[in-house]
Structure 1
């Protein structure tokens, strides 16, 4: 026997410590409910559990986000339901006003209610919000596009003769690589390039238009235009849905360079190649005016890129192009029009297709106001030269100083900005130090006279034949050259281009151009991939958008009949937007169910890794408790063993 070492006691103590440690961990698991309380408990299990916890919390919030989207759709649908009710009432009133048993006074009473409904529809557009965010937006999608595919990379504009024009703006990539365009893919007949006379006329008309634009806007071209631009000529038979002609642009931008490709489309159904030899000068002049309109768009995209990509209102984009082509029949006013008729016409500046008539006059007035505000200009008559000088100064100021239209108007005229100008023009109030909008319009109509085209390519009183007849073309300028083939010609620019944000502010002053754009994103997943996001479109539901610029007036029987058709259009457009939000709500509800299912089952899986099995752990705890008691007893016995040595020493 030895007394220096109590081996039996040491063994019993070691075993007791092991049991006590295991018992402590078991007690911790039982009291916390988790079998992994620290990484040492299960390192791999902890990593998997933490990843699942992040996913669960992210998906739970994504489900809440989707529910917010459902609430957005419900608010939108409720607002649109009221608009639909107002449209139904408008239909009832329009049918009533079309009945000839009513007097004009009776119709005026009906029309008063109609105009109140118009105001309420516009107020609904401006005031419907979710979390202080406007559900509808001035720069939102057109109502008719609600059930069509997303074409947010396209801008649809309209020619003076009413045909649609589609400007394509393709953002090809941050690396600056250009998509290859297959010019052989023709939907219809594409054999007209061999007719050199027709192609040559289009080339000459375009070159002549550029020459006139160079002459009209010398400062702009010297400030911002590119040299050696080549434009492909695309002659097809009617595949563009009735479009007479269009100018298309594709843009690719990188950090060091920008590429723009151009193509001019002419529909050979509207302008038959086979009839070109016998085509009247009047028809050829109409084609030349259309090409002048489109070439103006192209040079504005080149020189005023920032503004054309979202910052210019429709009335200025189209009005500026029509200063080249002339009004093309859009302006229904004549020199004998009354003040009331002029005021009523100009008041529709921002209403749909009126941008091409009232917008044309407003652009002319803006050029005049800039010119007349120039202290160096002693002549303030309403003339083509004065208007050209003002527009040249306005556009070169924007191009050379990177100014928005809002800033340029504030800096160069007596108006405080774009909204002030629009409001003044629409209300015919005097803000300029020279002629007010009403006085200008009257003087302009007198200068244009009854048969004048009003093009800045000549005198305002010159007819379309005076300006655009074949013998009037002067194709001497080689910049922006039309090439007689269907190739997209790439034109390189020296530095990278950054696409601008949209400029806020409209004449309504209702704040619905809030800079958020047409499409919001609902984050309905826990990761960043696009599949975890759902687009939430915003629409323009002002009456001008819902009615597509058509008549909403019952003051006469004829207008009431037009309004009946207008209300049908409104009803279809409201139904289109409601259908979009209804379908989106259904989709989001399915999304929520799926997210909740994933959260539930992922939570169950995470529980199996992280949570304590209380029954099994209690068995282990009880077992360890018995072992601890046994260990304590054995340690006590071992400590008594050395007492036997005393017997030997006695």
Structure 2
């Protein structure tokens, strides 16, 4: 028998310590509801769980973004509903004016109301805002109303050696709507596009054989021009990332992101590239009906100077424009509603998966804590017995 070292007591003490540590861990898990409270509990599980949590929060915010997008669309569509009512009244007045029982004074009175109604179309377009952004003035999706015999000059595009592009002239006055024209070049000069016939859509690609920076795209919806700077050839970069285009005296600059595209981009996913671009056309009186055969828009409707046929054609075209825009907005809204449903479902499934990794099984952990509690009590009792064992040595000394 030895008294300097009590092996039984040391062994029992070790078991008591381990039981106490296990019980402390169980209590921590039960009190927090989490299986993983620190990286040491499950390093791999913690990393996966944190990544999932980021996705879950991203999906939640994307759902709120989509709801904001629906609110914006509903705001625009509600305003266009009133514009539709105004156009119906304007059409009614134009039909009324075509009656020979009207005197000149009667037509003047009718025209006064038409002018006021056209002004209210502009008023609705100007006052319809969402979070400070005007929705119906063409700033959410740029529309170029007229491109007629305009010059488009790129004067300041510098090559790698500092050579400026000046001197190319490309005449596309006979261009066919919907076709893409490609012009190859390999030396420094300038491009001037003479664009005519504003009633057609033209797409011109510059430098299929030239080396501009890829991805520099200006896209004008409907009545406009699409200009793409190519990616292969002898020109390497755009000096200062500044390209100015003058169209009928209006200058458009690409030095700020989004200035040309003008579309509202809604983040509808938790990751990069998961966006929906929303464009809303110009719903002002100067833009509505401008594609009709008469050379004037809704703002130019006049029963005293234009024929009944011309006025009616413009108003009918304006109603078609508004109908098309409302249909497009309805399509956007339906898509966003399905997007929200999908985001919510994905969030629920991902939350359930993250819970299986991170959260504790309360019943199982309670069972583990009960076991550790019993082991701890047993170890305490046995430690007391082990501490009494060396007392037997005293009997040998008597």
Q: How does 1:301-380 map to 2 (within 5 A)?
A: none
Return the offset for 1:49: 0.3
**Judging changes above 3 Å, is the alpha-carbon distance between structure 1 residues 612 and 543 closer, same or farther for their aligned structure 2 residues?**
same
Q: 1:240 aligns with which of 166, 176, 180?
A: 176
Partner of 1:32: 32
Partner of 1:527: 271
Structure with the largest fraction of helix: 1
Return the offset for 1:95: 0.6
For residues 144-183 of structure 1, the C-alpha deviation after alignment (integer angstroms, 9 at most, x for no partner) is xxxxxxxxxxx785547xxxx99899xxxxx99xxxxxxx
**Distance in 2 between the 1:614 and 1:625 partners?**
16
Q: How does 1:552-563 map to 2 (within 5 A)?
A: 552-556=300-304, 558-563=306-311
Aligned to 2:266, the other structure's residue is in SS state: strand
Aligned to 2:286, the other structure's residue is in SS state: helix
How many aligned positions are there? Answer: 344
Asked if the contact 1:259–1:492 (Cα under 8 Å) also holds between the matched residues in 2, the reply is no
Partner of 1:399: none
Q: How does 1:494-505 map to 2 (within 5 A)?
A: 496-497=238-239, 498-500=241-243
**Distance in 2 between the 1:250 and 1:61 partners?**
45
Partner of 1:567: 315
**Distance in 2 between the 1:74 and 1:130 partners?**
10
Partner of 1:71: 71
**Judging changes above 3 Å, is the alpha-carbon distance between structure 1 residues 89 and 251 closer, same or farther for their aligned structure 2 residues?**
farther
Does residue 13 (structure 1) correspond to residue 13 (structure 2)? The answer is yes
**Judging changes above 3 Å, is the alpha-carbon distance between structure 1 residues 263 and 558 closer, same or farther for their aligned structure 2 residues?**
closer
Aligned to 1:35, the other structure's residue is in SS state: coil
**Judging changes above 3 Å, is the alpha-carbon distance between structure 1 residues 157 and 96 closer, same or farther for their aligned structure 2 residues?**
closer
Asked if the contact 1:33–1:611 (Cα under 8 Å) also holds between the matched residues in 2, the reply is yes
**Judging changes above 3 Å, is the alpha-carbon distance between structure 1 residues 259 and 600 closer, same or farther for their aligned structure 2 residues?**
farther
Asked if the contact 2:169–2:192 (Cα under 8 Å) also holds between the matched residues in 1, the reply is yes
Partner of 2:286: 544
Asked if the contact 2:153–2:190 (Cα under 8 Å) also holds between the matched residues in 1, the reply is no
**Judging changes above 3 Å, is the alpha-carbon distance between structure 1 residues 258 and 644 closer, same or farther for their aligned structure 2 residues?**
farther
TM-score (norm 1): 0.47
**Distance in 1 between the 2:176 and 2:145 partners?**
12
Return the offset for 1:580: 0.9
**Distance in 1 between the 2:315 and 2:271 partners?**
45
Return the offset for 1:113: 1.3
**Distance in 2 between the 1:538 and 1:251 partners?**
35
**Judging changes above 3 Å, is the alpha-carbon distance between structure 1 residues 517 and 496 closer, same or farther for their aligned structure 2 residues?**
closer
Asked if the contact 1:62–1:523 (Cα under 8 Å) also holds between the matched residues in 2, the reply is yes
Aligned to 1:522, the other structure's residue is in SS state: strand
Q: How does 1:271-282 map to 2 (within 5 A)?
A: none
Q: How does 1:212-223 map to 2 (within 5 A)?
A: none
Partner of 2:395: 647
Aligned to 1:546, the other structure's residue is in SS state: coil
**Distance in 2 between the 1:637 and 1:85 partners?**
96
**Judging changes above 3 Å, is the alpha-carbon distance between structure 1 residues 86 and 501 closer, same or farther for their aligned structure 2 residues?**
farther
**Distance in 2 between the 1:558 and 1:622 partners?**
94
Partner of 1:43: 43
Asked if the contact 1:136–1:540 (Cα under 8 Å) also holds between the matched residues in 2, the reply is yes
**Judging changes above 3 Å, is the alpha-carbon distance between structure 1 residues 582 and 135 closer, same or farther for their aligned structure 2 residues?**
same
**Judging changes above 3 Å, is the alpha-carbon distance between structure 1 residues 621 and 87 closer, same or farther for their aligned structure 2 residues?**
same
Partner of 2:346: 598
Partner of 1:379: none
Root mean square deviation, CA, Å = 4.0
**Distance in 2 between the 1:42 and 1:134 partners?**
51
**Distance in 2 between the 1:226 and 1:578 partners?**
44
Asked if the contact 1:231–1:261 (Cα under 8 Å) also holds between the matched residues in 2, the reply is yes
Structure with the largest fraction of strand: 2
**Distance in 1 between the 2:321 and 2:152 partners?**
23
**Distance in 2 between the 1:57 and 1:97 partners?**
60
Return the offset for 1:79: 0.6
Asked if the contact 1:523–1:534 (Cα under 8 Å) also holds between the matched residues in 2, the reply is yes
Partner of 1:607: 355
Structure 1, unpaired ranges of 5+: 144-154, 170-174, 177-223, 268-297, 299-308, 311-316, 318-487, 507-513
**Distance in 1 between the 2:55 and 2:109 partners?**
62
Partner of 2:124: 124
**Distance in 1 between the 2:192 and 2:352 partners?**
58
Structure 2, unpaired ranges of 5+: 198-205, 207-216, 219-223, 225-229, 251-257, 291-295
